[in-house]
Structure 1
C-alpha cells in the first residue's frame, strides 16, 4: 500500500497553481451563494434566528476545521483558540460541532467524489483523479468554502457609520461659505462638475474628523458584556455548551433546548429576552397545539415558517395534530430552564413569566398510562419462533430450526427478569455486564450510547439465573470477540443519531402483534413488561424500598431517598427470584449471531417511502 501511495504521489499530484485555482473558484462560487442568501434573509418577514454573520462564521469554522485537521476532525480541548481565529466566541463550540454533524449526515462531509472530479475536470483536466489528488482537491475545496464563509464584512458589515459621516460631510460642504477670491477670468470651457462624495471616498482625514466630532461616551451595562450572549438563541447555545461540559446534559437534551429557543424566536419574530412577554410564551404553547404530531422528525421542519407548519397541522386529522401532553410539558420545562439561566446572568424579560398555567394536565395516573402485561401475555409472547426456532434470519416469526441470538431474543428476557427500561437494555455495553463476581450483575450507568432517565436510574441489577442458563455469558463473549463494545450492535443506526430502543421497536412490534394481538389492541407495549414485573413483586410481598432500587425509582420520602443505603445485590436477587419463571420450558441453544453482526455490516439507511419498517411508530417504550 505504501509503495502504491508513493507511486501515486510521484505520478499524479495536484500542482500548487491548480489547487489555488480550485480554491479561488470555490470561494467565489460560495461567496455568491452567501450574498444571495444574505439578501433573502434581509427580505424575510420572519427572520431566521440562525442567520447573519454569526451563522456564516459557524459554517466557515467547520470548513476551516476540516481543512486543517481532515474529514474526521472534531473540536478538542483547544477549541476556544481555534474559534477565536474564526471570529467566534468559545460558546459557539456546540453550534460548530452540531453543524459539522449535520453536514456529515447530509453527505457533504467528506466532500462528494463527484464534486471533486467536477472541479478537477474544470481546473486540472490533465491530472489523473487518484486518491491523493482527490484528497488535495478536497483540501482546496474546504479552504475555499472557509474563506468565503469567514469573509463576512461585505455581506453583513454595518454601513451606518459610513452613511452618517457621508451625511455630515455633505451638510458641512453645503453650509460652508464660499472663499473670498478675486473674480477669475472668464473661460470658454465649461467648469468641471462638482465631485459627488461616496461612502467609500476619503472625505476628510481621520484626525480632522476626531477634532470636529466629539462622540458621546458609551456606557456598557453588565448585560452587554461582549463575552455573555444576550440573545435568546445565543444564550441557549451557551447554556447547552456549559451543561454538556459539566455532564449535566447529553447532546439530545442540549439539542432540544436549542430547538425550543429557535422555535420561540420564530414564533415571536425577535431574539431578545428584554422583549419577551407572558403572551409570547402563551402563543408558543398554542402553536405546539397546532403543529403536526410528527413535528421535529423531519429536518425540513427547521426550514419551514411557523405559518407553514401550522397550515400543515391544520390539514391533518385531529388525532394527528397537536403535540401530546408529555411533549408540551417537556417544552415548558426546557423553556423554563432557559429563562432561569438567563435571569442568573442578569438578562431580564419584559415582564415576569409564569409557565405553570401553560403546562398540560395528563388525564391519567402514571400507573394507568401504560397497562401492564399479564402472565398470559408474557407466556404468549415467549411461544414465538425467536425462542424456539425460526425459519431464517429474514423470517423470524415463522417456525423453523434456527434460533438467532440478538436483541429480539435477549431484550424481552432481560426485561422480564430485571425490570429494566427498554433504552437501559438496548444501550447496555459489554463493560456494563459483570460475571466474575459473587453476584453477577448489570451496571446501569450513563454511557456513550444512551443517557439515563434520572439520577436514581443509576443502579446495579443482579443477573437472574434463567438468563445465565440460557447462555447470556456465552453470547456476550461472542460479541466481545468480534470487537464490539455494544451488547446489541445490530441496533446501531445508520445515521448514528437515532435512539437504540426505537431500532429495537421496529422488530419488537411485529413480534408482539403476531404473538399477542389482544395485548396490542389494549395498548400494551414493551414498557408494559416492566409494569408486569413490578406488580408481581408487589403481590409477592417485596417491600417498597427493594422495589424502588430494582426499578430505579425515587423514594417516596426524604428518609427513604437520602438516608438509606442501596439494597445489597443479594437482597435484590432474592426479590427478583420471586418473579414467575416463565422460561422454564425454553431450551438453551448454541449461540448463533446475526450475519450482519458477524460480517460487521452496518445498518442501511431507511427509505423514506414504501418501507414497512418506516411506518412503525417509535412510541411506547
Structure 2
C-alpha cells in the first residue's frame, strides 16, 4: 500500500493496481492492471478511480450469480428438450431407411462438439493435442472434418443473437424473474452447453429401443388410459396434442402430463416447431443467405432493423404482428432524427430516447429518408414472408410492402456519376499528387503514399467495382488466365458478396499495371499479408474501407464544392456503366457482367454463362485514362 491507498503497488518502476474479491461462490476474482506510469501523483489518482469503480463491478458480480436451484431447473429443461429431440430424430432415421454410417458420424460429431464446447468454452476449436487424441480413438479424416464443421456450426449458433434472446425469454418464463444480467446470460450459455453434452452422452449410453419394444410399452400405457370414442384427430385441432385423459393412478396421470408437456415444448399451437421470435426467424433466414454468399454487412442490417422494430412496437412474435404494427413502425420512422443509426449508442436506445432526441432538433433534421424508410419496410416484408414460407401463422392482412412511399426522385437522380473530366480533376488531389504525410494524406505535400486510400478509388475508376469488394480483397484474389491478370471477386474468408451476380472476374486495366499495382500485390504477398489493403480493415467495426467513404466525401467537397454534393465512390460504378453502355463495340452482356447486374429475363440470368476473359479485358481497356 502506497500513501494509504489500497490496491496500489509498484512493480519495478511502474505502478500497478490489483484487487481480489471472493464471491458468494467459491470463485475468486483477481483484477490486476498496469497503470503504465512512473508518476506517483498520477498513479494515486488513477488508483482511486479504479477502486471506486471496482466496488460497483464486484457488487454486480456478487449479485449476478444464478442460484443453484435456478441452474438445476435450467439444465433439467435443456436436457429434457434435447433428449426429446434426439428420440424424435432417431425414430425418424429408423423409419426412413435405417441408421447408416453418415448418421453415425453426425451423431458422433455432435456428441464430441457439445463436450468440447462445455469443457473449453463456446469458441472451442480443434488443437493438435485434440486431433492426436481423436486419432488414437480411431477417428477417421472424414470424422474429424465432420466434427470441425459441427463445432463451428454449434458455436456460431450459440453465439447468435436469436438464440441468446430465446434463452433469455425461456429463463425468465422458467424462473418468474423480470430480468437477467449479462453475466448471468454467460452462465446460461455455459450451463446449456453442459446440459446438451450430458444429453448426447446419456443418449449414446441408452440408445432408443427397437420399434417392437416401444410398441409394447405404448400398449401397456394405453391400457391404463381412457380415450374418447372418436380416435381420429378432429378437423382444426392440433396434431401435436394428446387426445385423452388419465383414468387410473396418479402415476399414470403424471406420465400423461409429462408426455403432453414435452410435445407442447416441441410444437407451437399450429404444430410448427419453428420459433416465431423475429430474431430467430432472421437467424434462420440469414443462415440460408449466408450459404448463398450474401455479404455479412447486408445480413447484419436485418438484425439492426429488428432491434428498431421491437423497440418501437414492443412486439417480437411474428404471429402476433398486425398491419397496424407495421403502420405504427412507419409513423415513428418519420419522427426519428435523420442521423438515427449512425451512433453505436442508438442500438440500445429506448423509444422515449428516440422521441426526446428528435424533439430537440429542427424539423429539417427529423424523419428518416424515404429510401431508408422503404428499406426497413422491405426488411419487415422479407422476414414476414420467410416466416410464412416456414409454415408459421402470419396474419392474412399483414402486408408491410403496401406502406412503402414513392421516392420523390428517380433512382438515377439520387447520385451523380462522374464524367471523364471530373475524374481527371479528382485525381489531381494531394492523395494522388503528393501528401504532407501518410497520417495527413489529404493535405498537400511532396510524397505519394501508395496505400489503400491511393489505390482503391483508382481501381474503382478502372473496374466499376464496389468499395467493399476492393477494400476487402485477399492477396489470393489477383489471378492470371491466358496471360491476363484479373481481380477474382468471390466469397473469401474475409468477406462475402452483396448479390449472386457479384461473383465475377474483372481484368486489371493496363494503366493500373503501369502505375505499379502488380508490384503492390507482390509486396503484400511477400510481407505475408492476407489482404491487399490491410490498412483499410477496421477491427472495431469488422469492416473494410469505412474511412475511405469519409475521406472521399471530403475530397469531393474540396475538388468540386457544391458541384460534387451527389458524388461518391459509388459514383464510379455508374461512370463505368455509362461509358461501357455507350460503347457500341461492347455487348450489353459484358457490361452487366462487369458492373454485377442481374440479367433482365430468364435467358440472361440462367442460360448466359461467364464471358471469355479476353472479351472482358477488351471492355475494361475501353475505359479512358483518368490518372
How high is the TM-score relative to the length of structure 2? Answer: 0.60
Q: 1:476 to 1:461 in 2, by over 3 A?
A: same
**Deviation >6 Å, runs of 4+:** 16-19, 23-28, 64-67, 80-83, 96-99, 142-145, 148-152, 207-217
The answer on whether the counterparts of 1:30 and 1:148 sit within 8 Å (CA) in structure 2 is no
Q: 1:438 to 1:313 in 2, by over 3 A?
A: same
Unaligned runs of 5+ in 2: 1-19, 32-56, 68-76, 79-114, 127-147, 166-181, 193-247
Q: 1:387 aligns with which of 424, 432, 442?
A: 432
Q: 1:287 to 1:450 in 2, by over 3 A?
A: farther
Matching of residues 543-582 of structure 1 within 5 Å: 543-582=587-626
Corresponding residue for residue 22 of structure 1: 28
Corresponding residue for residue 404 of structure 2: 359
Corresponding residue for residue 558 of structure 2: 514
Matching of residues 41-190 of structure 1 within 5 Å: 68-69=119-120, 73=124, 77-79=149-151, 92-95=158-161, 146-147=186-187
Unaligned runs of 5+ in 1: 1-13, 37-52, 55-63, 84-89, 100-141, 153-206, 584-621
Matching of residues 525-604 of structure 1 within 5 Å: 525-541=568-584, 542-583=586-627
Distance 1:150 1:72 in 2: 11
Q: 1:410 aligns with which of 445, 452, 455?
A: 455
Corresponding residue for residue 493 of structure 1: 538
Q: 1:573 to 1:402 in 2, by over 3 A?
A: same
Q: 1:328 to 1:477 in 2, by over 3 A?
A: same
Corresponding residue for residue 476 of structure 2: 431
Alignment partner of 1:233 is 2:287: no
Distance 1:212 1:378 in 2: 80
Secondary structure at the aligned position of 1:290 is classed as: coil
For residues 550-569 of structure 1, what are the alpha-carbon distances to aligned partners after superposition, in whole Å with 9 as ceiling and x for unaligned? 11112233333333332222
Deviation at 1:144, TM superposition (A): 9.5
Distance 1:80 1:470 in 2: 42
For residues 543-601 of structure 1, what are the alpha-carbon distances to aligned partners after superposition, in whole Å with 9 as ceiling and x for unaligned? 32221121111223333333333222212222222222223xxxxxxxxxxxxxxxxxx
Deviation at 1:493, TM superposition (A): 0.7
Aligned residues: 439
Q: 1:370 aligns with which of 395, 410, 415?
A: 415
The answer on whether the counterparts of 1:236 and 1:258 sit within 8 Å (CA) in structure 2 is yes
For residues 195-223 of structure 1, what are the alpha-carbon distances to aligned partners after superposition, in whole Å with 9 as ceiling and x for unaligned? xxxxxxxxxxxx99769999989584943
Distance 1:401 1:503 in 2: 23
Cα RMSD after superposing both structures: 4.2
Deviation at 1:472, TM superposition (A): 0.6
Matching of residues 214-363 of structure 1 within 5 Å: 218=260, 220=264, 222-224=267-269, 228-241=274-287, 243-244=289-290, 246-247=291-292, 249-363=294-408
Deviation at 1:279, TM superposition (A): 0.7
Alignment partner of 1:32 is 2:77: no
The answer on whether the counterparts of 1:537 and 1:578 sit within 8 Å (CA) in structure 2 is yes
The answer on whether the counterparts of 2:294 and 2:498 sit within 8 Å (CA) in structure 1 is no
Larger radius of gyration: 1
Deviation at 1:151, TM superposition (A): 7.9
Deviation at 1:459, TM superposition (A): 0.9
Q: Say which structure, 1 or 2, has more relative contact order (CA 8 Å, 6+ apart).
A: 1
Q: 1:286 to 1:20 in 2, by over 3 A?
A: same
Distance 1:556 1:338 in 2: 26
